[in-house]
């Protein structure tokens, strides 16, 4: 049973002591690709290094996470990131991880929106999918993305955990996008299973971990890793009334199509 982890940060320091073992466990569990979204300026080098170490498995993305805007302004770092996209056609599978996050505060909302708008432009210019982070920002996200919808190749609403109404709106307004589903789905009090049953076809889902965060039950609260994806697959199989193999096959196809793998 093969699968693709479309969103994992295995290049971060949480894995420095045992990264090779983590990667091998993922291989043994069935991972055929690990997609690595960038976070900030400091994460670029370790992300590239991991992709060079495991070229058959790891593929990088390029973008600036909305909560990682530099204090002095994002423009110089965004310039550097866009130069990498321009100079390395075919190297990056997506523009990501980008988006909006107003969960803690809205003090830099305008800066987040400006950075997001610029990075949406990259997706158009370089014909790449978007890996979108959205937290407590559904309406602002839709408003920012909608004017560009017809020109964006594809993308993922990463770590989706919203309502049925939000899922329905995203799937309808952005038909080329997928919902990224990971360990949150397995949490005891999570309402996401009901949302998926109600309005999200399996054909609109890709798998992800967001490792090192959001490890699925029974590993909740520990460091996440890509080898745990089969636990999410099992949960999805129960929701959709199909076999784990069908879930793995469909979501792998979805990921391959979304990211041109």
pLDDT (tens place) for every residue of the chain, 261 residues total? 999 999 999 999 999 999 999 999 999 999 999 999 999 999 999 999 999 999 999 999 999 999 999 998 999 999 999 999 999 999 999 999 999 999 998 989 999 999 999 999 999 999 999 999 999 999 999 999 999 999 999 999 999 999 999 999 999 999 999 999 999 999 999 999 999 999 999 999 999 999 999 999 999 999 999 999 999 999 999 999 999 999 999 999 999 999 999
pLDDT, position 173: 97
pLDDT, position 115: 97
pLDDT, position 43: 98
Alpha-carbon Rg for the chain, nearest whole angstrom, is: 17
Q: Are 93 and 56 a contacting pair, CB within 8 Å?
A: no
CA distance 65 to 46: 16
pTM: 0.97
pLDDT, position 203: 98
For 50, the token pair is 């991991």
* CA distances for 204 relative to 23, 63, 89, 135, 171, angstroms: 27, 23, 27, 20, 8
Going through 23-152 in order, the beta strands assigned E by DSSP cover 31-36, 58-60, 95-101, 130-135
| Residue 128, H or E segment | none
DSSP single-letter state for residue 215: P
pLDDT, position 183: 97
Could you tell me how many helices (H) and strands (E) the chain has, helices first? 9, 8
């Amino acid at each position: 049973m093969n699968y693709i982890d479309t969103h994992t940060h295995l290049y971060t320091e949480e894995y420095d002591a045992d990264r090779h073992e983590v990667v091998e466990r993922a291989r043994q569990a069935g991972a055929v690709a690990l997609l690595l979204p960038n976070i900030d300026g400091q994460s670029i080098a370790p992300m590239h290094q991991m992709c060079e170490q495991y070229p058959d498995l790891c593929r990088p993305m390029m973008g600036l996470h909305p909560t990682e805007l530099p204090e002095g302004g994002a423009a110089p770092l965004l310039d550097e990131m866009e130069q990498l996209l321009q100079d390395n056609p075919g190297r990056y599978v997506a523009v990501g991880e980008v988006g909006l996050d107003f969960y803690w505060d809205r003090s830099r909302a305008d800066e987040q929106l400006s950075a997001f708008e610029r990075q949406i432009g990259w997706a158009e210019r370089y014909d790449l999918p978007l890996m979108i982070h959205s937290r407590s920002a559904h309406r602002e996200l839709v408003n920012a993305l909608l004017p560009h919808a017809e020109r964006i190749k594809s993308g993922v609403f990463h770590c989706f955990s919203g309502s049925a109404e939000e899922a329905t709106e995203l799937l309808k307004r952005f038909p080329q996008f997928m919902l990224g589903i990971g360990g949150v789905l397995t949490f005891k009090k999570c309402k996401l299973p009901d949302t998926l049953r109600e309005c999200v076809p399996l054909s609109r889902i890709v798998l992800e971990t967001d490792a090192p965060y959001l490890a699925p039950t029974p590993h909740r609260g520990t460091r996440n890793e890509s080898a745990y994806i089969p636990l999410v697959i099992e949960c999805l199989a129960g929701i959709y009334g199909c076999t784990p193999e069908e879930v793995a096959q469909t979501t792998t196809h979805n990921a391959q199509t979304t990211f041109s793998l």
